[in-house]
Structure 1
Amino acid sequence: MNRLISISKKEFSDHITSRRFLLILFIICLVLGVAAANGVTNYNDALEKYKNENVGYLFFPSILLAFNQITNSIGHDGLGAVIGIAIGFDLVSGEKEGKSLKTILSQPVYRDELINGKAIGGIISLSIITLAGFLTVLAIFLIIGIVPSVDEFFLIGVIWLITLLFMISAFSLALMSSVLAKTSSGALIMSLIILFTLMYIIPVGGGEFGISVLLGPEPLDEEYDFGSQSQVESFENIQYEYNQKRTVLYDFFSLFSIQRVYNDITSPITMPSKYVISRIGFSEFSINPDIAEGIEKPSLWEILGDKWMKIIVFIMWPVLFFGIAYVRFMRMDLR
């Protein structure tokens, strides 16, 4: 344990004293600060729309709405994934390139202590980076004159924890690539290729391929002869079942994208009105807005209960990536 702590401290010290860390810290504070300012504008617009009884907002807007811009910057725009990869892509490959890995392991240090220490040091560094970004956001809120309530502070902490886990997933991917690749440049390219494949190719291409193979083309009106009302209802049922199956396929392949899973988990927290409307159905709500009358604002536990599958997958990705890195590093031939 003492050796593991020493290695973790060294790795953390190497991170925070590097120019890369300071540059990443500056970028995330700048980007999240701009996103927070834009989010406050959206929050004020939402307050005006709610006062004017706009049907798009079922509940009184919370300052958490401003965090939708922040989570979009981290997840949808890929900032969190880029930061995670930047922290971890050369942790092992850099040692191999510098010919220092053999020297380190010739000391009374076990391989598992070294890989675990590198992972812990990187995770602590990511914690500092994300914490600094969120503190910047809170500072902007306080300067503007917006003070979150106790419940809002708790939910902001939950969003921070989910954001940290998202970055740890990208960091674990980079650490795995750093172990598998021989050079740091190769590890960086490998990380980006795997990330791009998981984020975009599998969710989109896999969904389209699954639909074409398993479901076939979408049923069209001109393919059916509607001679009676029962035939019309039968076609509507067929089309409804087809759309339901298509949604299930897309949801399945979207689980491969940590970016989409991150947005799916954080979106109900930042935009509960949109979350409730989506559960009702946008088409049904647009026809009859009164259908949402009497529905209470979902609690955090209700949201987590609804998203439990995606939360499990979200936790699975960093465990899988680190597990591959751990096994490969333990069996690595350093001769």
Structure 2
Amino acid sequence: MSGVGTIFWKEMADYFGSKRFLVLFIIICLTGISVAYLAGRNLEGFTHIPSQYLLLGFFITSAGSLPSFTFFVSFFGPLIGIILGFDAISGERSRGTISMVLSQPVFRDSLINGKFLAGILTIAIMFVSIFLIILGLGIWAMGFVPNLEELSRIGIYCLASVVYVGFWLSLGILFSILFRRTSSSALTSIMMWIFFTFFIYMIANVIADQIVPIPAVTTPEVLAKNEAIRRAIVRVSPAALFEEIATAALNPSVRAFGFVNPEELAGLIPTPLSLGQSLMVVWPEFVGLAILMLICFAISYIVFMKQEIRSL
């Protein structure tokens, strides 16, 4: 592990000294903050949120024709991770610097570990900065400070955002190892983003309808089986897992996902869930998202360590 710190700080300096990254950072900050600000101007539209959690509405309420901040993160967050990771190794190859780096007293695992850790910290800094600014906008607009539970829910959502984008970072690093050309790595990463963001939902609907067709006159049991199959397929997508985590963390009224029998809804007391109860709802999704990120990085690590030096 010798040299992890050296690689880490070198990557951090490269990220924050890069005009490409700074422009990306500014665009993402301005776009995300603008969406939250416009949503905050429509305070009366926060009717879907319990009154004691109004500040959370800045994150999950759409601003007119614009989508919500959570949708913005779910849709564009993967591009951040891909941009940070798609040339992590292939870029070093194309510049001819990877052999020079490994000829120094730096172990091969230190190179990939340092790049991954630097990418994760960069993503964390980006999201914490955006969330703090939105939090400040919320306090200014609402006129009061959030309670501890609101801050905890926002913190959980921020952590989930970092893990979610971290998955795409690790995926970008994996493809940068598998492909020698940076363009191939970028295109493959974007294709995976398109598949997990769009096509997985279409495929899930088709398969669910083939296994459990929904007739014109149906029953709640048939609808529940169809939805269970659809959700089981969709949950392969990190985007679907992240959306569920964000929804449960930022909206205490959410008790379950998928099809719920109307008879079961009739017996529920319409009170918001506590933070612990909301975590119980999405704990499997959060663990699953983290495991996907770690598995993807572990594959990257193994492949990189097994490559011959001359192939690098």
Q: TM-score range by the shorter chain?
A: 0.7 to 0.9
1:300 aligned onto 2:275: yes
1:242 aligned onto 2:241: no
Identical columns (%): 26
Q: C-alpha distance in 2, partners of 1:155/1:71?
A: 13
Give the aligned residue type for 2:284: M
8 Å CA contact 2:49, 2:251 repeated in 1: no
Give the aligned residue type for 1:11: E
Q: 1:109 aligns with which of 86, 106, 131?
A: 106
Match of 1:313 in 2: 288
8 Å CA contact 2:2, 2:107 repeated in 1: no
Q: 2:59 aligns with which of 64, 67, 74?
A: 67
Q: C-alpha distance in 1, partners of 2:101/2:49?
A: 58
**Which shifted more, 146-155 or 108-117?**
146-155
Give the aligned residue type for 1:73: F
**Which shifted more, 296-305 or 59-68?**
59-68
State the 1:114 CA deviation: 0.8
Q: 1:330 aligns with which of 291, 296, 305?
A: 305
State the 1:332 CA deviation: 1.7
State the 1:60 CA deviation: 4.6
State the 1:42 CA deviation: 4.2
Matches within 5 A, 1:190-209: 190-209=188-207
Helix, strand or coil at the partner of 2:307:
coil
8 Å CA contact 1:255, 1:313 repeated in 2: no
Distance of aligned partners of 1:296 and 1:220 in 2 relative to their CA distance in 1, 3 Å threshold: closer
Match of 1:180 in 2: 178
RMSD after superposition: 2.4
8 Å CA contact 2:128, 2:158 repeated in 1: yes
Match of 1:95 in 2: 92
8 Å CA contact 1:66, 1:270 repeated in 2: no
Match of 1:36 in 2: 36
1:163-217 CA-partner distances (Å, limit 9, x unpaired): 11111111111111111111111111010111222222233213412431x33x3
Give the aligned residue type for 2:293: P
Match of 1:79 in 2: 76
Helix, strand or coil at the partner of 2:3:
helix
Q: C-alpha distance in 1, partners of 2:144/2:17?
A: 34
Q: C-alpha distance in 2, partners of 1:150/1:107?
A: 48
Distance of aligned partners of 1:12 and 1:248 in 2 relative to their CA distance in 1, 3 Å threshold: same
1:273-321 CA-partner distances (Å, limit 9, x unpaired): 3x148789485699x6xx55x4432112212212222122111211121
**Runs of at least 5 residues in structure 2 that lack an aligned partner in the other structure:** 61-67
**Which shifted more, 64-73 or 134-143?**
134-143
Match of 1:229 in 2: none
1:3 aligned onto 2:3: yes
Structure exhibiting the larger radius of gyration computed from Cα positions: 1
Helix, strand or coil at the partner of 1:72:
helix
1:236-261 CA-partner distances (Å, limit 9, x unpaired): 6xx33221111111111111221121
**Runs of at least 5 residues in structure 1 that lack an aligned partner in the other structure:** 50-55, 222-235
8 Å CA contact 1:32, 1:134 repeated in 2: no
8 Å CA contact 1:92, 1:178 repeated in 2: yes
1:169 aligned onto 2:142: no
Match of 2:237 in 1: 257
Give the aligned residue type for 2:6: S
Q: 2:132 aligns with which of 132, 135, 146?
A: 135
Match of 1:211 in 2: 209
Give the aligned residue type for 1:41: R
Distance of aligned partners of 1:279 and 1:253 in 2 relative to their CA distance in 1, 3 Å threshold: closer
Helix, strand or coil at the partner of 2:308:
coil
8 Å CA contact 2:227, 2:258 repeated in 1: no
TM-score using structure 1 length: 0.82
Helix, strand or coil at the partner of 1:62:
helix
Distance of aligned partners of 1:276 and 1:179 in 2 relative to their CA distance in 1, 3 Å threshold: same
Q: C-alpha distance in 2, partners of 1:58/1:121?
A: 38
Q: C-alpha distance in 1, partners of 2:168/2:240?
A: 13
Q: C-alpha distance in 2, partners of 1:113/1:4?
A: 5
